[in-house]
Copies of this chain bind each other. A is one copy, B any other.
């Protein structure tokens, strides 16, 4: 093992990550929405690095970068994404891309290793324009009509305009070649505090949880906030607040050990200080890797809504707007990561599900897939203060490259 370890260039890995952090820097993080200038510059940066790893590639017609090799032997695909959430962290995405690049730089020129690592940066994993449009395009799940319909949720710019402005209009979208790869490996920061709080270095992802999303709407009666007595009000905002609290009180008895639920957005209509809200809406999300748990919680949600409707003051409707599918990570990938952790991280690893969505869940529909996590300081994620200790970044790179070697050797 020692000879592989010696060939991971930890300074190079950290320098690459900092180079990407400097493009679109925001405080100690980055602000690189999909197809923003710093995102496009980051993609161009990656394309420039590929030849050093024996790969050729360019940005395709949906903003994916694919670095491919003509070398014979088994091929492992590895990567992540380069755009960020708004004003978010420097490692969410770039870590997995730089690990993949480092694995390619270490493994591809090595005459003693049969096979290659190919590198991918999937566009829009962070969902500025949709759900995993880049990796879904590669897996064959995005139509031209999907692209026609996609718009930037921040500013309404259409994806067609964004592609045209980026000079990508009319380029071919690279599709997955059946049988080309033995599988896909992705590294990511944990985005939680399980590893950190347990003193562990590597998370071996067993599954990626599904996301179920609901629009819950309340209808009361809009009226004057000064003249309408409390006793006769039908305040949709208050009904919503009571529902949120009720969810928080009743879900724990019905959920699974790792279920999470979130009300991320609340809108009162009309939203004026002197008007009793006649309508209110909440966006509500549940994540779990067990569809049976979701079914139980969804039933609870509907029965809670029925109780509110039976009271008759306000009406509530629960509409599922997104249905999740948990993705199982491949067993042999988990074993390879575990063995590499034993070799390079003192065995300080833990098998765990991923609460966040990742491109690996899309790739798992077309090839075996695996993921590894490195610790996140304080578990902070989707915020510019997100960070991971340099030593943990380096350990992760060593485990990642060794896992690639093991997978190619199988």
Contact = CB atoms under 8 A, between A and B. Distances in A.
Interface string A179-208: 000000000001111000000000000000
Given A238-B244, A241-B241, A245-B242, A225 B260 contact: yes
A408 to B, nearest CB: 30
A325 interface: no
Contacts of A222: 382-383
B285 A262 contact: no
B223 A381 contact: yes
A383 B213 contact: no
A278 interface: yes
A381 B274 CA distance: 11
A278 B262 CA distance: 12
A274 B270 contact: no
A5 B269 CA distance: 44
Contacts of A268: 263-266
B271 A228 contact: no
Nearest to A266: B266
Interface string A67-85: 0000000000000000001
Contacts of A223: 379-383
A191 B227 contact: yes
Identical copies in the complex: 2
Interface string A221-261: 11111111110100101101110110010001000001111
Question: Which of A263, A379, A382 has the most CB atoms of chain B within a 10 A radius of its CB?
Answer: A382
Given A241-B245, A244-B241, A235 B262 contact: yes
B271 A264 contact: yes
A277 B244 CA distance: 14
Given A224-B191, A379-B232, A238 B264 contact: no
A273 B213 CA distance: 8
Given A222-B383, A268-B264, A271-B264, A227 B277 contact: no
Interface stretch (A57-65, A169-177, A307-315, A352-360): A352-360
Given A221-B380, A229-B260, A238-B263, 7 more contacts: A85-B272, A192-B227, A223-B379, A225-B285, A227-B381, A273-B285, A274-B382
Interface of A: 85-86, 127, 190-193, 209, 211, 213, 221-230, 232, 235, 237-238, 240-242, 244-245, 248, 252, 258-268, 270-278, 283, 285, 287, 354-357, 379-383
